[in-house]
């Protein structure tokens, strides 16, 4: 059973996850395409974050973090899985109204559909216009080509 509070060893990971700067895909031209709904955007953002949590890179980071925990004791595979599930359960609460409104304004419906069908971070990058960039404290975040150029200005 997963506890309602985060294991101490993973408080740093939770902080990283909550501080991921989601820079949403900016559409250069919306044309006649109907904008996605707030519900579609929130679902896509949550799914994108869950795909990252399921990635081998994130799993490796969790294993490394467990070795550096209090007392230097490693967590068991079951404890790591429970911690990952706890983090996933917190993902919807990390999606702020600001992220959703940016999504509605900037994302194309086709990008939402692509994000929802992606099952790996590689698919998000290769098919759905997301890029991996350095995040806070050495973490990584997915951003779009357009937003990456805009944030560099």
Residue-level pLDDT, tens digit, the chain, 153 residues: 444 444 544 545 544 444 343 333 333 333 346 889 999 999 999 999 999 888 888 888 887 777 766 666 777 888 888 888 998 999 999 999 998 999 999 889 999 999 999 999 999 989 987 877 765 555 555 655 444 444 444
SS3 call for 120: coil
Instruction: Please report the pLDDT score of residue 1 as a whole number.
Output: 42
Whether residue 8 is contained in a domain is answered as no
Whether residue 11 is contained in a domain is answered as no
Q: How many residues are listed for the chain in this entry?
A: 153
Number of domains in the chain: 1
As a whole number of angstroms, the distance between CA 42 and CA 61 comes to 26
Assessment of whether the complete model's pTM goes beyond 0.75: no
Q: What are phi and psi of 141, to 5 degrees?
A: -135, 155
Whether residue 39 is contained in a domain is answered as yes
Q: What are phi and psi of 20, to 5 degrees?
A: -60, 125
As a whole number of angstroms, the distance between CA 74 and CA 2 comes to 18
Instruction: Please report the pLDDT score of residue 71 as a whole number.
Output: 67
Whether residue 87 is contained in a domain is answered as yes
Query: Which domain, by its residues, includes 112?
Result: 34-141
């Amino acid at each position: 059973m997963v506890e309602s509070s985060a294991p101490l060893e993973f408080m740093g990971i939770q902080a990283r996850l909550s501080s991921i700067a989601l820079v949403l895909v900016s559409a250069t031209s919306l044309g006649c395409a109907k904008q996605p709904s707030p519900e579609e955007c929130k679902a896509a953002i949550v799914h994108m974050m869950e795909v990252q949590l399921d990635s081998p890179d994130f799993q490796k980071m969790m294993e490394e973090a467990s070795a550096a925990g209090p007392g230097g004791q490693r967590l068991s595979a079951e404890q790591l899985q429970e911690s990952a599930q706890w983090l996933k359960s917190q993902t919807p609460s990390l999606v702020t109204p600001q992220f959703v409104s940016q999504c509605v304004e900037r994302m194309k419906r086709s990008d939402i559909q692509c994000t929802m069908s992606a099952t790996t971070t590689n698919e998000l990058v290769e098919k759905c216009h997301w890029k991996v960039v350095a995040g806070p404290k050495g973490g990584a975040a997915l951003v779009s080509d357009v937003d990456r150029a805009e944030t560099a200005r």
